[in-house]
A and B are shown apart, each in its own frame.
Chain A
Amino acid sequence: MTASGTPHQHPSLDDPRIMLDDQIGQFEAVPPYPPRTEREAEFYSLRDGEMFVNMGPQHPSTHGVLRVVLKLNGEQVVDLDPVLGYLHRGVEKLCENSDYHHIISQIDPLEYVSSLFMEWAPVMAFEKLLDVEVPRRAEYIRVLTGELLRVSSHVLYQGWMALDLGGLAPILYSFIERDEIVEMLAAVTGQRMLFNYFRIGGVNGDLNHEFMSRLGDWMSRAAKQHEANIGLLNENEIFVRRMRDIGRLDGATALRMGTSGPNLRASGVPFDVRRAHPYSVYPELEFDIPTRGGNGGGDSLDRYLLRLDEVSQSIRIIDQCLHNMPDGPIMARLPRLLRPRPGRAWAAVEAPRGLFGTYVISDGTDQPFRMKIHDPSFVNLQLVGLLMKNNLLADTMAVMASLDPVMGGIDK
Chain B
Amino acid sequence: MALTPDGAGEAVTPDALAADVSPAADAADATDATAASALVTGSERDLARPLVVPNTLWTSMRPDAYRSGAPAVTHLRELEGSDLELSDTARWGQLEVIPTKADLVVDLIRMNSLWPLLSGLACCAIEMMSAATSKNDMDRWGMFPFRASPRQADVLIVAGTLTTKMAGPLVRLWEQMPEPKWCVAMGDCTCSGGRYKRSYSTIEGIDRVMPVDVYVPGCPPRPEGLIYGMMKLGQLVKERRGQWPEHKIGPNVPTDV
Contacts and interface: CB of A to CB of B under 8 A. Distances in A.
The reply to whether A and B meet directly (CB within 8 Å) is yes
Interface of A: 2-5, 9-11, 13, 15-24, 26-27, 57-60, 64-65, 85-91, 93-94, 97, 105-106, 109, 112-113, 156, 171-173, 175-176, 178-179, 192-194, 363, 369, 407-408, 411
B142 interface: no
Given A20-B23, A176-B135, 8 more contacts: A2-B94, A18-B38, A20-B27, A26-B168, A58-B119, A94-B198, A192-B127, A411-B163
A26 B38 CA distance: 14
Nearest to B118: A60
B195 A105 contact: yes
A175 B148 contact: no
B113 interface: no
Nearest to A57: B169
Contacts of A21: 23, 27
B148 A112 contact: no
Interface centre among A11, A85, A87, A194 (most CB of B within 10 A): A87
Contact-residue size bin, chain B (C-beta under 8 Å from the other chain)? 35 or more
Contacts of A2: 93-94, 96-97
A193 B127 CA distance: 8
A192 B222 contact: yes
Nearest to A3: B61
Contact of B168 (A19, A192, A363, A408): A19
B69 interface: no
B94 A9 contact: no
A66 to B, nearest CB: 11
A90 B189 CA distance: 14
A58 B173 contact: yes
16 contacts: A10-B58, A19-B171, A20-B23, A27-B169, A57-B166, A58-B117, A58-B170, A87-B161, A88-B165, A90-B200, A91-B199, A175-B134, A176-B133, A179-B133, A193-B123, A408-B122
Interface in B161-216: 161, 163, 165-173, 175, 178-179, 195-196, 198-202
Interface in B39-55: 39-42
B161 A89 contact: yes
B1 interface: yes
A377 B40 CA distance: 37
B102 to A, nearest CB: 16
| 5 tightest Cβ-Cβ pairs between the two chains A and B | A23-B168, A112-B123, A175-B133, A90-B199, A86-B166
B93 A4 contact: yes
Contact of B38 (A20, A113, A176): A20
Nearest to A4: B61
B168 A171 contact: no
Contacts of A85: 163, 165
B233 interface: no
Contacts of A90: 196, 199-202
Interface centre among A109, A112, A173 (most CB of B within 10 A): A109
A112 B23 contact: no
B121 interface: yes
Contact of A16 (B42, B135, B163): B42
Interface in B117-171: 117-123, 125-127, 129-130, 133-135, 148, 150, 160-161, 163, 165-171
Contacts of B165: 23, 85-86, 88
B247 to A, nearest CB: 15
A64 B61 contact: no
A84 B202 CA distance: 15
A13 B146 CA distance: 25
Nearest to B161: A89
Contact of B41 (A16, A23, A27, A93): A16
B111 to A, nearest CB: 21
A235 B15 CA distance: 70
Contact of B200 (A26, A57, A93): A93
A13 to B, nearest CB: 7
B243 interface: no
A260 B196 CA distance: 29
Given A5-B179, A94-B196, A193 B126 contact: yes
Given A4-B61, A88-B165, A20 B34 contact: yes
B163 A87 contact: yes
Contact of A179 (B23, B130, B179, B219): B130
A318 B257 CA distance: 44
A109 B171 CA distance: 24
B135 A194 contact: no
B201 A11 contact: no
A11 B60 CA distance: 10
B23 A369 contact: no
Interface string B74-117: 00000000000000011001101100000000000000000001
A176 B134 contact: yes
A383 B83 CA distance: 60
Contact of A89 (B134, B201, B219): B201
A4 B121 contact: no
Given A13-B172, A58-B173, A18 B57 contact: yes
B38 A23 contact: yes
Given A3-B61, A175-B130, A194-B219, A27 B172 contact: yes
Contacts of B23: 20-21
Given A109-B123, A175-B135, A22 B27 contact: yes
Contact of B169 (A5, A58, A106, A192): A58
Interface string B21-40: 00100110000001001111
